[in-house]
Amino acid sequence: MNIQNGIIQDSNIGGVPFTPMIVTPKGKRNVRTLKQLLTSDHDPEYIVVHNTGNAASTANDAAHSRWLQNVENADVQYVSVHIFVDKDSCVQTCPLNEVTYNAGDGGSGKGNARSLSIEICENDDYPAAESNGIKLVVAFMKQFNIPIDRVQPHRYFASNKKLCPHRILKSQATWESDWKKFQQRIMAVYNNDSSGQNPAPDPGSDTYTVQKGDSLWRIAQNVLGDGSRYTEIASLNGISSPYIIHVGQVLQLPQSSSSSGSGSIKVGDRVKITGTYYATGQRIPTWVKETTHTVYQLKSDRALMKEIMSWVYLSDIYKV
């Protein structure tokens, strides 16, 4: 992605046609804050997802940009967003390195001051708009190395517990599980998208189709020769206790740990990163080094970190 002074220069984001419609700062700076994100490099560390809450048929992405310009001119409220996306396009209204008043968590909250904010329009074909929204999220995750657990709904940050995005979060009781399902949809697109900078897990790696009577332990015993390695299969496929699997389900299998030359590092291990650069050459942000990661896949001299879907060298990680 080509970004100059926080403004995207490309004709599309993740394949969604893009137009910059940057709000001109006026008056009290209540839309255009002119404040840099509080992250060390002024790049976003989180992505905040919203619905516009406006079902009027005219309320598309461009209309919301014009609305924000009117708000800025009239100083009527404090509200801003980086990106609006609808069923066929997206627009940018504020520079990506600038604080937006989107998340209701104050001037230095993570949602406002460390995030990239995206509003999904609901004026027309909502499933199409939402699917475009997912493409944008994936493109920005890859651009800024943002892991899926830092892609969160407005509700996650909002001090007033606003149930937004309301088309994705069904209720205050279920919003966390509703969001988990949405995160899984994002990761499905993330892993199928080969255009990004970070390689997705190797689709050519071995798989196993679950048979009648199988358990994870039995599969590990039969296929890997060690029943206790069922935890590696579980981790690789995102299966948690009580480890329920279904006949016909296709499981990814760990590569034999002896071929990695990694010594003791195995799939499923919890590790920390000490290196300066990813195996793909990009600099590793400090917060990534402060976080514990799960080894998702091993390949020759490198390991794929599950939470950030990024490859690092085995010599740059240690078990915790």
- Which residues form the interface with Zn ion (CB under 5 A)? 50, 154, 164
Q: Measured from the CB atom, is 60 or 252 closer to Zn ion? A: 60
Tally Cβ neighbours within 10 Å of residue 223: 15
Q: Are 154 and 48 in contact (CB under 8 A)?
A: yes
Q: Measured from the CB atom, is 83 or 164 closer to Zn ion? A: 164
Q: Measured from the CB atom, is 150 or 299 closer to Zn ion? A: 150
10 Å CB burial of residue 78 (0-12, 13-18, 19+) is middle
Buried b (16+ CB within 10 A) or exposed e, 246-256: eeeeebbbbbe
Beta carbon of residue 1, minimum distance to Zn ion (angstroms, whole number): 24
Distance (Å, rounded) from C-alpha 173 to C-alpha 109?
Answer: 24
Q: Measured from the CB atom, is 154 or 299 closer to Zn ion? A: 154
10 Å CB burial of residue 227 (0-12, 13-18, 19+) is middle
- Taking alpha carbons only, the member of 195, 196, 201 closest to residue 282 is 196
Q: Measured from the CB atom, is 50 or 266 closer to Zn ion? A: 50
Beta carbon of residue 262, minimum distance to Zn ion (angstroms, whole number): 43
Q: How far apart are the first and last CA of the chain?
A: 35
Q: Measured from the CB atom, is 50 or 142 closer to Zn ion? A: 50
Q: And the tokens for 218? A: 């039995």
Beta carbon of residue 131, minimum distance to Zn ion (angstroms, whole number): 19
* Sequence letter at residue 218: R
Distance (Å, rounded) from C-alpha 51 to C-alpha 121?
Answer: 6
Beta carbon of residue 74, minimum distance to Zn ion (angstroms, whole number): 21
Beta carbon of residue 285, minimum distance to Zn ion (angstroms, whole number): 26
Beta carbon of residue 45, minimum distance to Zn ion (angstroms, whole number): 19
Q: And the tokens for 216? A: 């994870």
Phi–psi pair at 243, nearest 5 degrees: 55, 50
Beta carbon of residue 56, minimum distance to Zn ion (angstroms, whole number): 17
DSSP 220: I
Q: Measured from the CB atom, is 50 or 110 closer to Zn ion? A: 50
